Chain A
Amino acid sequence: MESFELLPLAVIGFYFLGALLFFIGLMADNERLSSVAGGLAIGGFALHSLDLCLMLVFYGKAALLGGSFYFSFVGWTLLAIHLFLRWRLKSSFLSLIALPLGLLLYTSSLGAAGLTIKIPPRFTALFFGLHVGSLAVALALLALASGAAFAWLHLNQKIKSKAVLGSMNMSMPSLDVFDRVNQWAVALGFPLYTLGIFSLAIWYWIDPEKTFSWDAMKFTSLGVWLLFAVLFHQRLIMGWRGRKTAWMVIWVFLFMVVSLIHHTITFKS
């Protein structure tokens, strides 16, 4: 087997070991294990980046026709945002969400090779790229934010009910850190999601081969956008934070996943 063929196995190995060690480190309150998991996440991310680059180098534009690339790209974006937030918030807790999700997306990408995408002709490719790229980043942001939202709700409930926090809760970041992840996800995710939706609309408008018509997929996407818009307004204009925004992020993410699954099924058919 050539080394290029071993690369996906190495990426899976790094992400899997990273996720496992981080979980064990968290349970056993062992910081050394969490640091090793952080190193594995960085290593896995570097190999993942190499894998994406090699895919583009070896297959050229054809790589963009396969579903593998997109699943892998969403996973890569998720890990990139996770590493950025880890550095920015000085907290490794998001690895608990990012590493298993990254592993899941990357593994799914290997199974999505059969899925083919119709690439738009000539200059419309720009809008297609914008559509896919911005939605991938928005989805990755919301995945992390919904994980942080679950953690916020758990810790908030513990503090409100005056329960014993225990060593695991004590080693968790503060409510403020989780809330800041939520704010970043909303502040960046909504404009990106809007860009993703509008670039699709423009693509339909300028591509002579495409005709716009309302269908279930577009209704779902619009519904998600409206919910996201409400969250964006309440969070950034009205100053909502905490419990309400945590639940809203979780709902927006779930709807977005449903929309994406629907999207994939539509493409396959």
Chain B
Amino acid sequence: MNKYIYLTGLNHRTADVEIRERYALTNVENFEPGLLAECPVHEVMALSTCNRVELLCVSGHAPQSEVDVLSAMRDYWARRCGGDSSEVQAHTYNHQGLDAVEHLFTVASSLDSLVMGEPQILGQLKDAYRNAVGCGTAKVIINRLLHKSFSVAKRVRTETAVASSAVSISFAAVELARKIFGNFNGKTAMLVGAGEMAELAATHLLRNGVEHLIIANRTLARAKTLAATLGGEPIPIENMQDRLSEADIVISSTGSPTAVIRARDVQSVLKKRKHRPMFFIDIAVPRDIDPDVNGLDNVYLYDIDDLKEVVEENMAQRQDEAVKARALVSEETRAFSQWLKTLDLQPTIVDLLGRGEEVARRELARTLRRLGDVDEETKKALETLVLSVSHKILHEPVCYLKRRTREEGMADRVIDSARRFFNLDNDCIPPDAHPERRTDSCECREDLDLSSPEEFDH
């Protein structure tokens, strides 16, 4: 392998927020071109989010060589962020070769995220890649690696349930509401009390299509402020009962010590609404909504503990699915390693075909000289013929090489044999070689008098 993949980075597990802030690359300009210029690397991509900073590089230096690529990357990173190299080293994890590939696939699939299965990381990775492409620091390997990581992430999302269920209270509430109402077109939500969590749930609902929001609060000024932010209608809490029949979803979070909404009130509200379903989300402690409300037809009540339970169960489900997802990632890593091996073979194939073409052209030139006056059309036809013969003869050896280099641990041996077999490196037989080798009819290509027509007469 003459191109080696390296990855170094820190995340929410290895570094606390202060460190992550210090070494974030969001405001560091020209980071990637600088790294490319100053470090022994050919390709670079930097990913910087609030939970992780990672550098992905491709270098011509092997991990066992004298050049410490990872150390050079860390030094540059620390310098650009005004930090200390040893501090970076203390908080980073390092991956090389296929480990780096597997790590990147794991990150893209959101299996390494703080909230497993969250969708943002893929978007952030795409942005980082776009940036690297823009800077011209992403080339053959990073291009292929990133495209592959996007497809792995997609496969993980579609073939496992790692991202299918809600793992936050407000999102769990939205998911449940969706199971009741289908979509939120024309639906009205009511906030009873304007707590922070209720505000978050309301934001989620509005983002998902709830059209109208009523905010009932003891302090009308607070309701007005929130209404200005979210785009709802503020009302005093005393009017809540009169307006309750308009609400399809009610989120309650007052500090009241007794129930604010009782079952008998909801019963009369239901008649007014012609029994259209209502979904009550009670996130107050002590609870604001009489639990008997859940016993009414077409009314659904979830309190904070119910929602927490849903979230915990979903988290456990995601953990189970992560096992499947990791197996997928390993499978894709193996597939990627096959591609990397064919990449090792690429120069050999180019040399081999080039050698074939070279011989064909040389023989053609000699034949044309002997033939004398030949028109252009015939020359072209002959050229096509000899090149085609050369390619066809080499087709099977190339297929064989591709096949064998995919076998575990065979790539280097097979490539080496092929290069020697076709003498692609123009090796001369050393004078101190075994006598049997020296008496062999093979000689250096340079020693051959190819210009002598007699030697190669047909």
- Residues on A facing B (Cβ under 8 Å): 29, 155, 159-160, 162, 164-165, 167, 169-170, 173-177, 238-244
With A160-B300, A241-B298 in contact, do A174 and B182 touch (Cβ < 8 Å)? yes
- Bound CA span A21–B144, Å: 36
- Bound CA span A164–B313, Å: 7
6 contacts between A and B (CB under 8 A): A164-B313, A170-B165, A174-B181, A239-B274, A242-B277, A243-B297
Instruction: List B contacts of A244 (CB < 8 A).
Output: 297
Smallest Cβ distance from B208 to chain A, in angstroms? 13
Contact B164 A167 (CB under 8 A): yes
- Bound CA span A170–B297, Å: 21
* B 154-174 binary contact with A (CB < 8 Å = 1; else 0): 000000010011000000000
Smallest Cβ distance from A25 to chain B, in angstroms? 14
What are the 5 A-B residue pairs with the smallest beta carbon separation, nearest first? A239-B274, A174-B182, A176-B182, A242-B298, A162-B306
Contact of B164 among A170, A175, A241, A243 (CB under 8 A): A170
B243 contacts the other chain (Cβ, under 8 Å)? no
With A167-B161, A242-B297 in contact, do A159 and B176 touch (Cβ < 8 Å)? yes
Instruction: List B contacts of A162 (CB < 8 A).
Output: 302, 306, 309-310
With A167-B164, A170-B165, A243-B297 in contact, do A176 and B180 touch (Cβ < 8 Å)? yes
- Bound CA span A160–B430, Å: 86
- Bound CA span A243–B179, Å: 16
Smallest Cβ distance from B131 to chain A, in angstroms? 34
Q: From A237, which residue of chain B is reached at the shortest CB distance? A: B274
Contact of B180 among A169, A174, A238, A240 (CB under 8 A): A174
Instruction: List A contacts of B445 (CB < 8 A).
Output: none
Instruction: List A contacts of B338 (CB < 8 A).
Output: none
Smallest Cβ distance from B339 to chain A, in angstroms? 26
- Bound CA span A48–B178, Å: 37
Contact of A175 among B179, B275, B310 (CB under 8 A): B179
Contact of A239 among B179, B275, B313 (CB under 8 A): B275
Instruction: List B contacts of A241 (CB < 8 A).
Output: 274-277, 298
Known: A167-B164, A174-B180, A177-B182. 17 other contacts (CB 8 A): A29-B161, A159-B180, A164-B317, A165-B179, A167-B161, A174-B178, A175-B180, A175-B182, A176-B180, A176-B181, A238-B274, A241-B274, A241-B275, A241-B298, A242-B275, A242-B277, A243-B298
Instruction: List A contacts of B181 (CB < 8 A).
Output: 174-176
Q: From B295, which residue of chain A is reached at the shortest CB distance? A: A160
